[in-house]
Structures are given as structure tokens and as C-alpha cells.
Chain A
């Protein structure tokens, strides 16, 4: 049990819709990172937030956006959903300067786009 929680656990959307996924970080952690894990693959880095600012971004289009709140919880927003966005979305929290320390993962949100 890492103390990182995500909601919802499962979600079904249709192509073109928008979705918001939520993550509560472990107590004392100030950095949240988001990853996309397609079926049968390793997680791919989407972006990272440190003290409410985006701190790095992977190779994902602008329709993937995020927020981090003063309590260090975070949201991942995806606009104009595509079929290929179907995946497990993982958030990870960590502490230290820009997440220097070990990242601890939540259970994930499984998104299905029809």
C-alpha cells in the first residue's frame, strides 16, 4: 500500500469525449507524474508536476493536460478522446526536488474508449 489513490478505477468513454482522471499523492510528496500503459506494454511518461507547475513532458499531444493543486493532488485531462487512448493511466508521487526520490504508484485508472 503506497498511499497513492486514483479515481475512478474504471471508465468508459466514446471517441471525441473528454475525460478527467484524479490522483491523490502520498502524504509528504510534492511531485506527481502521470504515465500511460497500453495493453501489453510498459508505462510511457506523459508529464510531471512539481509544486503546481509542469516540470517535464513526454511525447504526448497537447490534448493531454494536467493540473496540480496546493495539496499536491493532481488531475489528468484528455480532450477529443481517440480509440488509442484506451489504456491504464497511472500516477506516481514522489518527494524531493522535482521528484528526485523514488516514485510510488497508485492502482491506476483503466480507460476504455469506444
Chain B
């Protein structure tokens, strides 16, 4: 079945540092890939997505590229802010249209 493995946290960074969260997946066919973010006490917000190989999703300074050859969708941001502190989830949607999520990575950015 479909599955997502993402980098274990927690990750603690200083403001303006570079952030990478690794995500790899196992799926049949050609899934769509997503990053969702969850702020404390809230639901999930879509951060970015990519629907086919070599697509790059981007939003709010975050980027991720759909790499079919390495089955990866790593999240990056060049300069994080305190407001980026949250839990980040990598997810995939296959032919059955349900989302399969990774376990989440907690990111804390210190001023």
C-alpha cells in the first residue's frame, strides 16, 4: 500500500536558518504529493503540492520538488521565522484519492 516516511523531529533552529525536512514515499502509479502544516491547537493547512514528477510546489518561501527517481518530496525554506514553528506533514494521494500521511515533524524556531 501507499506510505510516507518523513524525517523524525523535533527540529530546533535559529531564526534565518535553512530548513530541510526529508520525505520519501512508496506508492503505485503516479501519486500527488503534499505538505500540510499544523499550528498548535489547529487543523491542517495545505502548504504546497505537486501533482507530477519534476513539479515544484512553493508557498510562503517553502519549496518542494517531486522526485520520482528518488521517490522523495523534501521540504525546504531558506530563512525560517519564529512564525514557522509548527508540525509539518508530508502526504500522498494515490488513485484511491485518500491521503496517506507521514508521522509529522515538529519544527521550533528560536528568535
Chain A interface residues (CB < 8 Å from chain B):
2, 6, 31, 33, 35, 40-45, 48, 55-56, 58, 88, 90, 92, 94, 98-100, 102-108
CA distance A58 to B101 in the complex (A): 13
Category for how many chain B residues contact A: 20 to 34
Chain A residues, Cβ within 8 Å of B100? 45
Cβ of A9 to closest chain B Cβ, rounded Å? 10
B45 on interface, CB distance cutoff 8 Å = yes
Does the CB pair B44–A90 fall under 8 Å?
A: yes
- Alpha-carbon separation in the docked complex, A58 to B103 (Å): 17
B42 at the binding interface (Cβ < 8 Å): yes
Stretch at the interface among B14-22, B63-71, B77-85, B91-99: B91-99
Whether B45 contacts A42 by the Cβ 8 Å rule is no
Contact B97 A98 (CB under 8 A): yes
Q: How far is the CA of A109 from the CA of B24 in the complex (A)?
A: 29
* B97 and A42 within 8 A (CB): no
**B residues less than 8 Å from A104 (CB atoms):** 46
Q: Are A103 and B43 in contact (CB under 8 A)?
A: no
**How many Å lie between the Cα of A98 and that of B89 in the bound state?**
23
A41-B103 CB under 8 A given contacts A56-B96, A58-B98, A100-B97: yes
- Cα distance, A105 to B45, chains bound together (Å): 7
Nearest neighbor of B44 in chain A, beta-carbon distance? A105
B98 contacts A56, CB within 8 Å?
A: yes
The reply to whether B98 and A48 form a contact with Cβ atoms under 8 Å apart is: yes
Q: Is the CB of B99 within 8 A of A43?
A: yes
B residues near A99, Cβ cutoff 8 Å: 97
**Quick check: A42 and B89 within 8 Å, CB to CB?**
yes
Residues of the B chain whose Cβ atoms lie less than 8 Å from the Cβ of A108: 42-43
Q: How far is the CA of A43 from the CA of B99 in the complex (A)?
A: 9
Q: How far is the CA of A44 from the CA of B36 in the complex (A)?
A: 14
Contact present for B99 and A103 (CB under 8 Å): yes
